[in-house]
């Protein structure tokens, strides 16, 4: 059985993950408005990943005998100055989510909730990847400064990203 404190914290994380999906879906619309369909595809996959993260938390609460209580989702930003600014915002957001995951790990330890701590290790590893992916694109965009044609090459590269659901039990 999950403690009330842990259940509430995970419910808050479900909200944060859905907000992440909402933010990235907003970025999809932004990139489509710029005719950067590859950037939009990358963010579409990111949206799908965030929804799968929310569902992983949702299912975990259920499996532990708790109940997921959904909360209102805050509206996301809808405009960015440039593709670089959008990816810098995505990177900053992933750092924020990493901090939230780290706090959940600490809470699981305080609550002596080994099951939650073990489940959260998947998210610790996932956040390393999430931050690296967003930062990698930020760094590429920075290198392209003054070479506007590079954005179209990156757009083509980003278009190849596809969503791969996490393996069962992962």
Cβ–Cβ under 8 Å, residues 135 and 109: no
Does residue 147 belong to any structural domain of this protein? yes
Does residue 170 belong to any structural domain of this protein? no
Q: What is the average pLDDT score of the chain?
A: 96
Does residue 93 belong to any structural domain of this protein? yes
Does residue 165 belong to any structural domain of this protein? no
Identify which of 126, 108, 132 has the alpha carbon closest to the alpha carbon of residue 17: 126
pLDDT of residue 167: 75
Does residue 76 belong to any structural domain of this protein? no
Does residue 16 belong to any structural domain of this protein? yes
Range of the domain at 132: 4-71+83-158
* 95-135 confidence digits (pLDDT tens): 999 999 999 999 999 999 999 999 999 999 999 999 999 99
Query: CATH code at 132?
Result: 1.20.1260.10
Phi and psi torsions of 26, nearest 5°:
-65, -40
Q: Give CA–CA dist 127/122, Å, rounded.
A: 9
How many domains in the chain?
Answer: 1
Does residue 8 belong to any structural domain of this protein? yes
């Amino acid at each position: 059985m999950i403690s009330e404190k842990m259940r509430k914290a995970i419910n808050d994380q479900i909200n944060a993950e859905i907000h992440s999906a909402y933010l990235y879906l907003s970025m999809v619309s932004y990139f489509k408005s710029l005719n950067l369909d590859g950037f939009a595809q990358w963010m579409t996959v990111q949206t799908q990943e965030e929804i799968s993260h929310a569902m992983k938390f949702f299912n975990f609460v259920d499996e532990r005998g708790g109940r997921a209580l959904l909360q209102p989702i805050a509206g996301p930003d809808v405009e960015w100055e440039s593709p670089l600014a959008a990816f810098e915002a995505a990177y900053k957001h992933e750092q924020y989510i990493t901090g939230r995951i780290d706090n959940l790990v600490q809470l699981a330890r305080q609550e002596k909730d080994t099951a939650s701590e073990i489940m959260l290790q998947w998210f610790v590893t996932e956040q390393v990847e999430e931050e690296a992916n967003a930062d990698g694109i930020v760094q590429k965009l920075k290198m392209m400064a003054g070479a506007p044609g590079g954005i179209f090459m990156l757009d083509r590269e980003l278009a190849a990203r596809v969503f791969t659901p996490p393996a069962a039990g992962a």
